[in-house]
Amino acid sequence: MNSTTPDAIPDDNSGNNSDTTDTDVCSEASTETILVRISGPDHPGITAGLMELLARAGAGLHDVEQVLIRGQLFLSLVITVPPGRDVMKELLLFGWENKVEIDFEVVKDPAVGRVPGLVVTLIGREVSPAEFGAVAQVLAAHDGNIDRIIRLARYPVLAYELLTSGPDLEAMRRDLMKVADTLPCDIAVNREGLGRRAARLVVLDVDSTLIQDEVIELMAEQQGCLDEVATITAKAMEGELDFGQSLLARVKLLEGLDSESLDRTYERIRLTPGARTFVRTLQRLGFRTAIVSGGFTHLVERLAQDLGIDHAYANTLEIVDGRLTGRIVGDIVDRAGKETLLRRIAAEEGIPLDQTVAVGDGANDLDMLNAAGFGIAFNAKPVVQDAVETALNVPFLDAILFVLGVRREDIEAADNEDESFDTSGPLPDASQI
C-alpha cells in the first residue's frame, strides 16, 4: 500500500542529500521532525500510553494516521522532538513493553501539504488483485500516487476508496475511465475536495432505477398488449425512438383499461435492492430527494410517499368514467423534461446544480445525468453508460452511497441506533439491506 509517507530525505542543513541514521537523530542538537511507525497486535491503551509519553517528553504532534486490519495496528505519527530529549529510547522501551514494533525516520517538515487529487471508488462483488492492479498501473503511468486507501464496505459489495494525487489529474481521470470499461468491477472517479462533500440533492429515475420494473409494462400485461409495449419501450430506452412519441404510442395502447389497474400495478412493483436503505440514509445525511419519472403520477407519487421522498414528478394519465383514455394530461416528462425538473427542484431547494446527484438508466435520463453535478448511470443501457462518466453495475441502489464516500459501517450503525426506524411498508425491498 502506498501511503502519505512524507519525503524520506533527511533534514540536511548543508543541503546535501546524505543518509541520516537513527544515530544522527539522537545526536542532532536542534528540534527534529520524526516520522514514527508503530505496528503489531492491537490492545487497549497503546495510544493513551504513547501520547502520555510524548506529552511528558514535550514532543509536538503534527500528524496521526491509524489503520486496524484483523487486529493488527498500523499507527503513524509525525512528531517534533525538543533538543536534549532522548525520546527515541523511551519510545523503543514503550514498544518493547507493549509488544509492538516501532521504527523512526527523520523527515523534512512537520507540515507536508497534500494537493487534493482524485477520489477513485472501486465497487464490485469482488475486487481482485488484477483489478486493483489495473487501477494502480494507470496511476503509476501518470506519475500519480495512491495517498490513502479506505475500505468503505464489505457487504453486499466490496467498496474501496482511493485518495490519489498526480500532476495531470484530467489525463489520469480519462485513462481511469478507459480502464474501468475493461474491468468487471465498477470504478467511479471524482475530484477530491469540498465539492464532493457538498452534494445535497439526489434526483432519481424510477423505472429500472428505483424500482426493478417498467411500470407501463406491468399495466400492458393487464391490457394484453405487453409485447407491443415492451418492443416500443426497449427502442425508446436505447435511444432509437423519441421518448415522448414512444410514450404517447404506448399509453394509447392502454386505452380502456380500468383505473383500478393502477392500484393492482402498485402492488406488483418491486423496489431495487437497497432502495429503502439508500433513501433512508440520504435523509439522515440531510440530502433532499426527488424522483422524476417518464411513468405515471398515480404510482410515482404513492412511491414517494411510501419512501419519504421529497419531490415526485411524472406523467398524468387521463381517466374518464373510471377508464384510461389512452391520453396524457399536461406536459410530458421526457428527456428534456427530466433535465428541466432537475433544474427546477434544485432552484426550489436553493441548491446549486453542481451540488446535485442524478441517477438513471435510460436514454431519457441522459440530459438530466449530464446537467447534474454528478451523474450516475445505474445498471444503464450501453448508450447511457458510454455518455456518462460514472457507471455502476452492481444491482444494489445503496452502492451509490459508497461513491458518495459513505461507509457501510456508518449506515448500519445509524440503523441500529434509530429504534424508531420502521421496517414495515407495503413494498418489499428484495435485500432489506
Min dist. Cβ of residue 380 to Mg ion (A) = 8
Name the active-site residue from 205, 334, 367, 429: 205
Q: Based on CB atoms, which residue is closest to Mg ion, 186 or 207?
A: 207
Min dist. Cβ of residue 281 to Mg ion (A) = 22
Place of cell 432502495: 275
Helix (H) or strand (E) holding 396: none
Name the active-site residue from 207, 361, 365, 398: 207
Q: What angle do CA 282, 284, 288 make, to 5 degrees?
A: 50
Min dist. Cβ of residue 209 to Mg ion (A) = 5
C-alpha cell at 165: 494525487
**Contact positions vs Mg ion (CB under 5 A):** 205, 207-209, 361-362
Residue of 125, 159, 151, 154 lying closest to 68 (CA atoms):
151
If phi > 0 it is left, if psi is from -120 to 50 it is alpha, else beta; for residue 200 that is alpha
If phi > 0 it is left, if psi is from -120 to 50 it is alpha, else beta; for residue 28 that is beta
186 included as an active-site residue: no
Min dist. Cβ of residue 316 to Mg ion (A) = 18
> What sign for the dihedral angle of Cα 110, 111, 114, 119?
positive
Min dist. Cβ of residue 205 to Mg ion (A) = 4
DSSP designation for 200: -
Dist. CA 357–CA 365, nearest whole Å: 12
Q: Based on CB atoms, which residue is closest to Mg ion, 334 or 361?
A: 361
205 included as an active-site residue: yes
- Pairing state of beta strands 311-320 and 288-296? parallel
Q: Based on CB atoms, which residue is closest to Mg ion, 166 or 362?
A: 362
Q: Based on CB atoms, which residue is closest to Mg ion, 161 or 205?
A: 205
Q: Based on CB atoms, which residue is closest to Mg ion, 32 or 205?
A: 205
Task: Give the SS3 label for residue 56.
Answer: helix
Q: Are 382 and 391 a contacting pair, CB within 8 Å?
A: no
129 — phi, psi (to 5°)? -55, -35
Min dist. Cβ of residue 364 to Mg ion (A) = 7
If phi > 0 it is left, if psi is from -120 to 50 it is alpha, else beta; for residue 352 that is beta
Write the burial class of residue 75 (CB in 10 Å: 0-12 exposed, 13-18 middle, 19+ buried). Answer: buried
C-alpha cell at 256: 380502456
Q: Based on CB atoms, which residue is closest to Mg ion, 192 or 214?
A: 214
Q: Based on CB atoms, which residue is closest to Mg ion, 361 or 398?
A: 361
Min dist. Cβ of residue 362 to Mg ion (A) = 4
Dist. CA 388–CA 358, nearest whole Å: 11
* Catalytic center residues: 205, 207
